Amino acid sequence: MLRTHHCGQLTKGDLGKRVTLAGWVRFYRDHGGVLFYDIADSHGSTQAVFDPEATTSGDLDRLEGVLNSIGREYVVAVTGTVRDRVEGTTDPRNPTGEIEVLIEDAEVLNRSKPIPFEVAEQKNSMLPGEDLRMRYRYLDLRRKEMNANLRFRSRLISSARRFLESEGFMEVETPMLTRSSREGARDFLVPSRTMPGHFYALPQSPQLYKQMLMVGGVERYFQIARCFRDEDSRADRQPEFTQLDLEMSFVDMDDILSMVERMYAFVWKELFNEPLPIPFPRIELKDALSKYGTDAPDVRFGLEMEEVTDLVRAAPYEIFQKVLSKGGMVTCINLKASMLREQDADGAVGRKQVDRLIEWAKGQGMGGLTWMRMTPEGLSSNIVKYFPVEVRKAIAARTAAEPGDLLLFLAGPREGTLKAGGQLRLKLARDLGLLEGKGHQFVWVVSCPLFQRDPATGGLTSFHHPFVRPVGDVIPEGKECATAMGRSYDLVLDGSEIGSGSLRNHDPAMQRRVFSILGMDEATMQREFDFFLEALEYGAPPHGGIGMGIDRLCAMLLGCESIRDVIAFPKNKKFQSLVDGAPTKVEEAKLSELQLLSLAEDDDGA
């Protein structure tokens, strides 16, 4: 080892020891002869000091020469004696702040060019633009925060792995060069050299492989699986991502949900040393949509929507009547007076803020937003005269309105209105600080349909994917098949979907039936899924599982703005890897070898 201790290690218990530290020079200070260096590694930082009056090294001139050549982020090894700090010069913020190393020898292990942005923690955030951080990702990773993020991710995976192994799960790797399918997202294709004109696809998930592992008798499988989907990025989505993928045989839905819950409880204990309440609440999809306006609800604050369509039917309020006549709906959020922070409480949310909300609602594609305020005398607002007293009372009762509460109504086509209401909830929660101090909350979203209508084609598509086993193992005949429900479940954390799974079809006849409802004829089934349908023919056990997004999970638990902060080498919005410049053009010869011809516009002149 080039060092005897790491930089977060030394304390008063080490006084008098002769030690060698190695690390990066984060700061240095020259007091006209007395030189201070903060030597940092991934464990911490330790102050090393050169004191010409105290140092007894043989060759002071050489040592001073070395020390004076050192710049920021130089990699150095210093050897010296651990000593107590001078009275009043300890640094209580640093675990090693009570001691320092008196430098007796120093060596520059490597130099550094002036760094393009700050690696050291600064008081005022000077975090550079993301493109620069990506380009010099190795420097970005040297930052304490990024180092901690990667460490957290590693511990989370390690903890989950230990739990699953203790439960008898087997970690199995599945191929990265896989069969392309027309289902799902766009594939990343890889040309085959040995079979010109043929292509592999990078896996969108290990779905079919893990099901075949169940047929293969693995019974309990998991994998930290890299997945690839060639669809546009978001803050919580990039084209290559990591799933904690698992699958179990001879289980029903509750077995899988319970296993996942116990896994997170175990992880929580190890990572946060806190109990995680299990089981997680379950909410039916239709309730999630009507109360939270999304299939991934954040249930940590109130502000649930209450539909009042039936009540306002009796009110001659033109805007609502127009919406109702078109088959639309009216929903209401009660902004409780008790939710307002003290500084806002006296005037509740004023007219000006309501006006701003109305403008915001228009930006969400709504016609506007209607409001009423609850007073001791009942509901009041500029339009309350259009609402008969009985209607007002019924609305107040359904929304549990108390004096001071503000009722916000959205009216319009069902889907868009619920969606806007869901956005309104989140906006209010943000604006009013309702999430401050709130912990994390998992919730299962269950009772999803098997199919949904594709608005473009009018045909049926899978709600989740085609391998979901229907509730009761029954799909109604004819047009009624669209009403079939699936034995599937989504895991949601704080309003983000972090996992999705189901029981699978192990009966090949049922799997064929699903394919055929999705519009696949026998020939297509044969072409795309013959191998899989055949596998099911050979004694496939009942099975099911789940895949959970590790990037998203880590980002949420760490409070990161984007998953890029928990991925060592992420892609930018155009899928470029700025640190190494991928993707690149390749030589003509490489294409020829693969029997490929590029049709991209030739910009070689540039």
Interacting positions 237-276 with RNA (CB under 7 A): 237
Q: Are strands 170-171 and 220-228 parallel, antiparallel or unpaired?
A: parallel
Residue 353 binds RNA (CB under 7 A): no
Beta bridge partners of 21: 78
Q: How many residues interact with RNA (rule CB under 7 A)?
A: 73
Assigned token pair, 439: 């912990």
85-118 burial, b if ≥16 CB within 10 A, otherwise e? Answer: eeeeeeeeeeebbbbbbbbbbbebeeebeeeeee
- Show the site string, 95-114: x = touches RNA by CB under 7 A, - = not: --x--x-------------x
Nearer Cβ to RNA, position 47 or 447? 47
Residue 572 binds RNA (CB under 7 A): yes
Residue 53 binds RNA (CB under 7 A): yes
With CB under 7 A as the contact rule, which of the stretches 23-31, 279-287, 303-311, 427-435 interacts with RNA?
23-31
CA dist list (Å): 407 to 388, 400, 536, 541: 17, 10, 54, 52
Strand, coil or helix: 498: strand
Q: In whole angstroms, how close is the CB of 306 to RNA at the nearest point?
A: 24
Residue 36 binds RNA (CB under 7 A): yes
Residue 93 binds RNA (CB under 7 A): yes
Among 4, 42, 90, 496, binds RNA (CB under 7 A): 90
Residue 85 binds RNA (CB under 7 A): yes
Q: In whole angstroms, how close is the CB of 15 to RNA at the nearest point?
A: 13
Among 131, 145, 359, 521, binds RNA (CB under 7 A): 131
Q: In whole angstroms, how close is the CB of 456 to RNA at the nearest point?
A: 7
Q: What is the 3-state secondary structure (H, E, C) of 330-355?
A: EEEEEECHHHCCHHHHCCCCCHHHHH
Residue 231 binds RNA (CB under 7 A): yes
Residue 89 binds RNA (CB under 7 A): yes
Q: In whole angstroms, how close is the CB of 294 to RNA at the nearest point?
A: 10
Among 157, 172, 176, 185, binds RNA (CB under 7 A): 185
Contacts of 443 (CB under 8 A, 6+ apart): 280, 281, 282, 283, 297, 299, 491, 492, 493
Among 29, 198, 385, 430, binds RNA (CB under 7 A): 29
With CB under 7 A as the contact rule, which of the stretches 44-52, 278-286, 478-486, 522-530 interacts with RNA?
44-52
Q: In whole angstroms, how close is the CB of 568 to RNA at the nearest point?
A: 16
418 burial via Cβ count (<10 Å: 0-12, 13-18, 19+): buried
CB 540 within 8 A of CB 208: no
Q: In whole angstroms, how close is the CB of 510 to RNA at the nearest point?
A: 16
* C-alpha gyration radius of the chain: 31
Q: What are phi and psi of 337, to 5 degrees?
A: -60, -30
Residue 55 binds RNA (CB under 7 A): no
Residue 461 binds RNA (CB under 7 A): yes
Q: What is the 3-state secondary structure (H, E, C) of 68-109?
A: HCCCCCCEEEEEEEEEECCCCCCCCCCCCCCEEEEEEEEEEE
CB 551 within 8 A of CB 562: no
Q: Which of residues 65-84 bind RNA (CB under 7 A)?
A: 71-72
Q: In whole angstroms, how close is the CB of 238 to RNA at the nearest point?
A: 9
With CB under 7 A as the contact rule, which of the stretches 325-333, 387-395, 460-468, 519-527 interacts with RNA?
460-468
243-269 burial, b if ≥16 CB within 10 A, otherwise e? Answer: bbbbbbbebebeebbebbbebbbbbbe
Residue 565 binds RNA (CB under 7 A): no
Residue 32 binds RNA (CB under 7 A): yes
Residue 184 binds RNA (CB under 7 A): yes
Q: In whole angstroms, how close is the CB of 275 to RNA at the nearest point?
A: 31
Q: In whole angstroms, how close is the CB of 117 to RNA at the nearest point?
A: 4
Neighbour tally for 193: CB within 10 Å:
12
The candidate with the shortest Cα–Cα distance to 1, out of 16, 15, 17, 22, is 22
Among 229, 392, 425, 552, binds RNA (CB under 7 A): 229
Question: If residue 446 lies in a helix (H) or strand (E), which one and from where to where?
Answer: strand 442-449
Query: Which amino acid does the sequence have at 394?
Result: A
CA end-to-end distance (rounded Å), the chain: 49
Q: In whole angstroms, how close is the CB of 462 to RNA at the nearest point?
A: 3
Q: Which of residues 354-373 bind RNA (CB under 7 A)?
A: none
Q: In whole angstroms, how close is the CB of 142 to RNA at the nearest point?
A: 15
